[in-house]
């Protein structure tokens, strides 16, 4: 649908910076849903979402608001759990969760020193852990016996 009347200066403005424009909330959302939608969109990189992601983002905003509302009522734990499952599923599909953003095979190369923390040994020079941990664990076992 075309806008009636004169177009605003903002609508006429051309993006000359080359930066992608962020998604805008659809007109059918209420004020809380619109604010949640914009918070989700602004929390991600401008290149992250495409126009086709809008329906999923709307559903995620609604599920988030519903989960927040139900989380305050201890008698609605089952409904809250369903809302948070929908929220988790949508966030994963939109690649907003850490498990969806990172490949487990390459996450180690993103760590300082190039070694994933769970692959480090106690004597590893890249390890930022306390060097005494094996002995301390052994001492704890002696105390328990």
Ranges of each domain in the chain: 9-101, 104-145
Between 23 and 132, residue with greater pLDDT: 23
pLDDT of residue 97: 83
Once rounded to an integer, what is the mean pLDDT over residues 12-31? 81
pLDDT (tens digit, 9 = 90+) per residue, 85-111? 999 999 999 998 877 777 766 666 665
Between 16 and 59, residue with greater pLDDT: 59
When the pLDDT of each residue in the chain is averaged and rounded to a whole number, the result is 79
DSSP string, 31-69: HHHHHHHHHHHHHS-TTT--GGGHHHHHHHHHHHHHHHH
Contact 22, 41 (CB under 8 A): yes
Between 9 and 50, residue with greater pLDDT: 50
pLDDT of residue 29: 95
């Amino acid at each position: 649908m075309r806008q009636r009347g004169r177009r605003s200066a903002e609508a006429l403005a051309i993006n000359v910076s080359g930066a992608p424009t962020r998604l805008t909330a659809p007109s059918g959302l209420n004020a809380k849903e619109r604010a949640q939608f914009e918070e989700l969109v602004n929390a991600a990189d401008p290149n992250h979402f495409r126009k086709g992601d809008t329906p999923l983002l709307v559903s995620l905003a609604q599920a988030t608001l519903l989960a927040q509302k139900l989380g305050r009522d201890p008698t609605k734990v089952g409904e809250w759990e369903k809302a948070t499952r929908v929220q988790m599923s949508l966030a994963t599909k939109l690649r907003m969760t850490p498990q969806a953003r990172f490949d487990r095979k390459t996450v180690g190369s993103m760590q300082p020193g190039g070694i994933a923390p769970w692959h480090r040994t106690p004597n590893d020079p890249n390890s930022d852990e306390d060097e005494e941990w094996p002995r301390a664990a052994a001492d704890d076992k002696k105390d328990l016996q």
